[in-house]
Chains A and B, each alone.
Chain A
Amino acid sequence: MHHVIVGNGVCGMEAALALRRKDGEARITLVSDEHDHFYSRTALMYVFAGQMRLQDTEPYDRGLYERLRFERVRERVAELAAQGKSLRFEGGRTIGYDRLLLAVGSRARPAPWPGAAGPGLHYFVTLRDLEGLDHEAKAGRRAVVVGGGLIGVEVAEILLARGLEVTFVVRENWYFPLALDEREALMVAEHLRAHGVDVRLGVNVEEVRRGPDGALAGVRLGDAPRTQAALAAGAAEVPCDLLVCAIGVVPNTGFLATSGLRLAKGGAIEVDDALRAAPDVWAAGDCANVTWADGSRRPEQLWYTARDQGRVAAASMLGDGATYRRGTWYNSAKFFDLEYTTAGWVPVRLDWDNTPLDPGPDVSDWFQRSPGRFDSQRIICSGGMNPPSLIKQGGLSGPPRPPLAADRVIGFNMLGGRWNHEVLLDWIDSRRSLGFVLDRLAEAQFDEELSPRWRRQPGSPPT
Chain B
Amino acid sequence: MQAGLMDTYQRPLQKRGAVAWIFCAALVAFYLLIYYTDAFEGPARRLGLGDKWTLYGVLYTLAMVAGGIYFLRRHGNSRYQRIRTITVVAVQVVLAFALPIVMKVLGRQEYYFSYFWPLKIEYFYPSVILQQPFLIVIYSFLGSLVAFPLVGYFLGKRFYCSWICGCGGLANTAGDPFRHLSDKSAGAWRFEKASIYTVLGIAVITTVIVGLNWAVGRQHAAFSSFAFGVQRWYGLVVGGFFSGVLGVGLYPLMGTRVWCRFACPMAAVLGLVQKFGRFRITVKKDMCIACGNCSTYCEMGIDVRAYAMANEHVKRAACVGCGMCAHVCPRGVLKLEVKPDRFKGGTPIRVYAVDL
Contacts and interface: CB of A to CB of B under 8 A. Distances in A.
Interface stretch (B52-60, B102-110, B144-152, B343-351): B343-351
B356 A52 contact: no
Contacts of B77: 337
Contacts of B157: none
A52 B293 contact: yes
Interface stretch (A141-149, A401-409, A447-455): A447-455
A449 B5 contact: no
B286 interface: yes
A323 B352 CA distance: 8
B337 interface: yes
B79 A304 contact: no
A312 interface: yes
Contact of B335 (A49, A324, A423, A449): A449
Contacts of A326: 351-352
A28 interface: no
B331 A40 contact: no
Given A325-B352, A448-B78, A448-B327, A46 B332 contact: no
B8 interface: yes
B235 interface: no
A326 B38 CA distance: 71
B287 A311 contact: no
B26 to A, nearest CB: 25
A49 B9 CA distance: 9
B289 A303 contact: yes
A450 B330 CA distance: 19
Interface string A397-426: 000000000000000000000111111011
Nearest to B81: A448
Contacts of A75: none
A422 B80 contact: no
A339 B335 CA distance: 15
B335 A446 contact: yes
A134 B321 CA distance: 35
A346 interface: no
A53 interface: yes
A265 B354 CA distance: 28
Interface residues of A, number: 58
Nearest to A309: B352
Contacts of A322: 354-356
A101 interface: no
A438 B140 CA distance: 48
Interface in A38-91: 40, 42-43, 45-46, 49-53, 56-59, 61
Contacts of A42: 289-291
Contacts of B78: 448
A315 interface: yes
Contact of A50 (B9, B290, B292, B351): B9
Interface string A420-463: 11110110000000000000000000111111100000000000
Given A50-B9, A61-B185, A448-B323, A325 B291 contact: no
A334 interface: yes
Interface string A317-336: 00011111111101011100
B1 interface: yes
B346 A449 contact: no
Contacts of A40: 289-292
Residue in B293, B345, B349 whose Cβ sees the most chain A Cβ within 10 Å? B349
A57 B352 contact: no
Interface residues of B, number: 52
Interface in A1-57: 10, 40, 42-43, 45-46, 49-53, 56-57
A315 B347 contact: no
Contacts of B5: 49, 51
A308 interface: yes
B346 A423 contact: yes
B293 A446 contact: no
Interface in B318-332: 323, 326-327, 330-332
B287 A421 contact: yes
B9 A52 contact: yes
B347 A59 contact: no
B332 A446 contact: yes
A197 interface: no
Contacts of A323: 353-355
Interface string B118-138: 000000000000000000000
Contacts of B291: 40, 42-43, 46, 52, 57
Contact of A449 (B80, B293, B332, B349): B80
B10 interface: yes
Interface in A363-422: 418-422
Contacts of A341: 332
A327 B354 contact: no
Interface of B: 1-3, 5-10, 77-80, 83, 185-186, 284-293, 295-296, 305-306, 309, 323, 326-327, 330-332, 335-337, 345-356
Given A46-B293, A320-B356, A334-B330, 20 more contacts: A43-B289, A43-B291, A46-B1, A46-B291, A49-B5, A49-B6, A51-B6, A52-B291, A57-B291, A59-B306, A323-B353, A323-B355, A327-B349, A332-B287, A334-B331, A337-B3, A341-B332, A421-B284, A425-B349, A450-B83
Interface of A: 10, 40, 42-43, 45-46, 49-53, 56-59, 61, 157-158, 161-162, 303-305, 308, 311-312, 315, 320-328, 330, 332-334, 337, 339, 341, 418-423, 425-426, 446-452
9 contacts: A42-B291, A51-B5, A52-B293, A161-B6, A322-B356, A323-B353, A326-B351, A337-B77, A420-B346
